[in-house]
Amino acid sequence: MTETPHGDAEGFRPHTSHWGVFSARMRDGTLEVKPHAGDPDPNGIIDNFPAALRHRARIAQPMVRRGWLERGPGPDSRRGRDEFVPVSWERALDLLAGELTRVRDQHGPGAVFGGSYGWASAGRFHHAQSQVHRFLNMAMGGYVRSVNSYSSGASSVLVPHILGTYEDLTKRNVSWEQIAEYSEVVIAFGGMALKNSMVAGGSISQHVERGAMERAAARGCRFVLVGPLRSDLPVEAGAEWVANIPGTDTAMMLAMVHTLVTEGLHDQAFLDRYTEGWPIFLRYLLGETDGQPKDAAWAAPICGIPAEEIAALARSLHGKRALVVVAHSLQRAEHGEQPVWMGAVLAAVLGQYGLPGGGYGYALGAIGYYGRRYNAVPVPTLSQGRNKVADFIPVARIADMLLNPGTTYRYNGQTRTYPDIKLVYWAGGNPFHHHQDLNRLRQAFARVDTLVVHELAWTATARHADIVLPATMTLEREDIGASSNDPLMVPMHPIAAPYGEARDDYAIFSELAGRMGVGQVFTEGRTARQWIEHLYERTRAALAEMGRPAPSFAEFWRSEGITLPQMEDDGGELRRFRIDPVADPLPTPSGRIEIFSSTIDGFGDADCPGHPVWLPRQEVPQGDTPLFLVANQPATRLHSQLDFGGHSTGAKHRGREVARMHPQDAAARGVADGDIIRLFNERGSCLAAVRVTDGVRPGVVQLPTGAWYDPADPEEERSLCVHGNPNVLTRDVGTSSLAQGCTGQLTTVEVERFEGNLPPIQAFEPPGALPMAAE
């Protein structure tokens, strides 16, 4: 640690995380945390820190997989099955620098996959993604990157074609303040669950969603939740619950639009003035192109909602300040582009775009930084340098890439070819959490020469690596916490010394860069503290330029955080467009809301045609897998992070993740509340505890992501995951040829009561290690 930092009277020092600003102190060797006093609705995820800090799941020293150490780099199906050999830092870094040099010189940087997707930790300098990308750019000359995210794979590709700037739509459009004040009806497809908005990348000092919904409801705003899980809107919203069949929202929205149009309740003036291609879409809607009017009677059996209820819901939106919300989760599924596009059309038909609290609130509530104000000054950001490799993959196509080098795939109108990857470098992500069909992912990782992972704990990803380098946890280093739309910029003080031999990602990359002859280029001669001061200066200078108080770094460091100025809540691009569509057209090809996109139509991909359509899923509940599985975000941790912490483990039952199912489905299978169940399909199986509740629609089982993958027998091909990781069950296919986004939200399964001896949970036990290697 560089200095003895200040603390409050009790010695608590500020820090932050993706799930909230907090302060912490060490007392008698124990970590204590408390939430930020200014947060109106803090959550319990910070309570994962105390037990996690010194947990045995932490990685204490560099490790090399035995097979890699003995036989050298190369494809190996022993990954994830092998033992590890502890090595010194010197040895680990020498081996790794040698391997990086070999791959660069023999195959070029285009054989390195450095997409390294993942949320890592808050902190603008020790941001693992930026660090790994910067290092690969400088030491290797670049790397094959990934584009888009697991969160918004489909929508982030679609939105620029049809609505304009993604960032603007989600962050500067309809705000929580507007909802509290103006909305009359909020219809939320997929809901706006607080477990999602409690998290925001970078830092979040105020959780405002619950309060905003409570204020809106108290004013008389009506909330309607369309979705299979009742908990996807908080009780404070007092929502009506329309429990449709998962994956059928597009059909429901089509039927609602059909009702509005055929009953003359649509806003034709808005459609004429602000949209493109309505007449083409209308022919499809009315059945003129395929003989099937998309009316409520058609949609009812698809959605599992009576036709009259769908029609009545549509009518009830007419003439109101109505806000249509479509959750990220809906697009994390087969044909995920369609509900996003159809939500935009429903909102256009209601004509409320650009009005305060009305229009289209795409993904509001999906994450804590949507629907808030934008900071008026930039936050500190580490430059990643220049990547000389142009090649990329859509992020969720990693297993396809590794398994099928040289084959082609469609993406956003292009036909692209998968590169031949020899080395994969991961820092700050957990593909054994985020990717689908984990048994397939294991096969994919067996194909590479070398897999390198920096991790703070023994995740399944670390267990599958060849070289594992122990990284510090956020609490063990200093940094600046900030995000582009949270007003509080936080000095993140180090609270504890690094665990074992763990080092910061920056320190690891600095050493490697030195060995590869680019030390000075990578570090620019700065220590970590000097970098933090350097990055702070950008924000300080912008504050000074605006004539705002611009504290020196020392003043900032002594503070509890400084409040950044924020932009007006002005409705952004869509408000300006509404006011004057000629002077302020949308940045779409037509300058309007594209109900029909000739660009997408021109791509000629049948799985994403030129306007929104109902495309039935390939994978539907039937035969051996009669239930839908909703694999959504967890409530007690961020993704898989700190799954071994107290708040996360405390919510498990008999050590397993908890699934929820409807009493009818449970009774039909002889399953009782609290039982252990086995969920299975053709791809894999896992155990979970079960909560029987009428809060899920019949025919639906829900199991959140994030329980660490824990195969009963790692030697087996498709071993049972004994802990409850739903990604052993999910399908590894893209949303469509347009976006190739992640489809992990929804799959089909069967469930049975688990009989017999309950296998132990091994996920948090360090893997078998041999004696330290002789140097």
**What is the nearest approach in angstroms of ligand PGD to the Cβ of residue 591?**
31
Decide whether 545 or 682 has the Cβ nearer to ligand PGD: 682
Closest approach of Cβ 361 to ligand PGD, in Å? 18
Alpha-carbon span 298 to 547, nearest angstrom: 60
Q: How far apart are CA 601 and CA 222, in angstroms?
A: 37
Catalytic residue among 19, 68, 117, 425: 117
**d(C-alpha 245, C-alpha 610), whole Å:** 25
Closest separation between CB of residue 435 and ligand PGD, Å?
7
Contact 484, 474 (CB under 8 A): no
Q: Which is closer to ligand PGD, CB of 144 or CB of 427? A: 427
Closer residue to ligand PGD (CB): 204 or 349: 204
Question: d(Cα 354, Cα 373) in Å, to the nearest integer?
Answer: 16
Structure tokens at 7: 């603390």
CB of 379 to ligand PGD, least distance (A): 18
- Give the containing element (helix H, strand E) for 101: helix 89-107
**749, 681 in Cβ contact below 8 A?**
yes
Q: Which is nearer to ligand PGD, 59 or 379 (CB)?
A: 59
Helix, strand, coil distribution of the chain in percent, nearest 5: 35, 20, 50
SS3 613: coil
Marked catalytic residue, from 119, 425, 614, 709: 119
Between CA 106 and CA 100 the distance in angstroms is 10
User: What residue ranges in 143-267 does DSSP mark as E strands?
Assistant: 145-147, 185-189, 222-226, 240-242
Residue with Cβ nearer ligand PGD (121 or 735): 121
Eight-class DSSP state of 606: T
Q: Please, which residue, 120 or 180, has the CB nearer to ligand PGD?
A: 120
Q: Which residue has the tokens 């609270």?
A: 495
Shortest approach of ligand PGD to residue 748 CB, angstroms? 13
**Beta carbon nearer to ligand PGD, 259 or 747:** 747
Minimal distance, residue 482 CB to ligand PGD, in Å: 16
Q: How far is the CB of 45 from ligand PGD (least distance, A)?
A: 12
Looking at the chain, how many residues does it have? 775
With beta carbons less than 8 A apart as the criterion, state whether 354 and 322 touch. Answer: no
Smallest separation, CB 771 to ligand PGD (Å): 26
Residue pair 369/566 in contact (Cβ under 8 Å)? The answer is no
DSSP 660-699: EE-HHHHHHTT--TT-EEEEE-SS-EEEEEEEE-TTB-TT
**Which residue, 47 or 573, is less far from ligand PGD as judged by CB?**
47
Alpha-helical (H) ranges within 502-571 are: 505-515, 519-523, 528-545, 553-558
Q: What three-state secondary structure class fits 237? A: helix
506 is catalytic: no
117 is an active site residue: yes
Tell the smallest beta-carbon distance from residue 648 to ligand PGD (Å): 11
Contact 435, 441 (CB under 8 A): yes
Name the residue number minimizing CB distance to ligand PGD. 744
d(CA 363, CA 173): 11
Q: How far is the CB of 440 from ligand PGD (least distance, A)?
A: 14
Q: How many CB atoms lie within 10 A of CB 552?
A: 12
Rounded Cα distance between 727 and 723, Å, is 12
At CA 135, angle to CA 129 and CA 140, rounded to 5?
125
- How far apart are the C-alpha atoms of 639 and 428, rounded to whole Å? 12
Q: Give Rg (Cα) of the chain.
A: 26
Identity of the residue, 118 or 164, whose beta carbon is nearer to ligand PGD in the bound complex: 118
Q: For residues 411 and 394, what is the distance between their CA atoms, to the nearest angstrom?
A: 8
Q: What backbone torsions phi and psi does residue 226 show, to the nearest 5 degrees? A: -105, 115
Helix (H) or strand (E) holding 17: strand 13-17
3-class DSSP assignment, residue 383:
coil
Contact 528, 514 (CB under 8 A): no
Instruction: Provide the minimum distance between the beta carbon of 180 and ligand PGD in the complex, in angstroms, as a whole number.
Output: 27
Task: List residues near ligand PGD by CB under 6 A.
Answer: 117-121, 126, 128, 149-151, 332, 427-430, 433-434, 454-457, 459, 471, 505, 631-633, 638-641, 705, 726-727, 730, 742, 744-745
Of 59 and 216, which CB lies nearer to ligand PGD in the complex structure? 59
- Which helix (H) or strand (E) segment is 573 a member of? helix 572-579
The DSSP symbol for 158 reads H
Residue with Cβ nearer ligand PGD (335 or 434): 434
Residues whose CB is less than 8 angstroms from the CB of residue 379 and which lie 6 or more positions away in sequence, other chains included: 124, 202, 480, 482, 483, 484, 489, 539, 564
Please identify, using beta-carbon distances, which residue of 93 and 349 lies nearer to ligand PGD.
93
Per the CB < 8 A criterion, the answer to whether 330 and 249 are in contact is: yes
Contact 168, 572 (CB under 8 A): yes
Report whether 705 contacts 631 (CB < 8 A). yes
Min CB(466)–ligand PGD separation in Å: 16
Q: At 8, list the tokens.
A: 């409050």
Query: Distance (Å, rounded) from C-alpha 255 to C-alpha 126?
Result: 49
Specify the residue, 379 or 746, whose C-beta has the smaller distance to ligand PGD: 746
Least Cβ distance, residue 743 to ligand PGD (angstroms): 9
| Adjacent-strand bridge partners of 491 | 480
Q: Which residues are tagged catalytic?
A: 117, 119
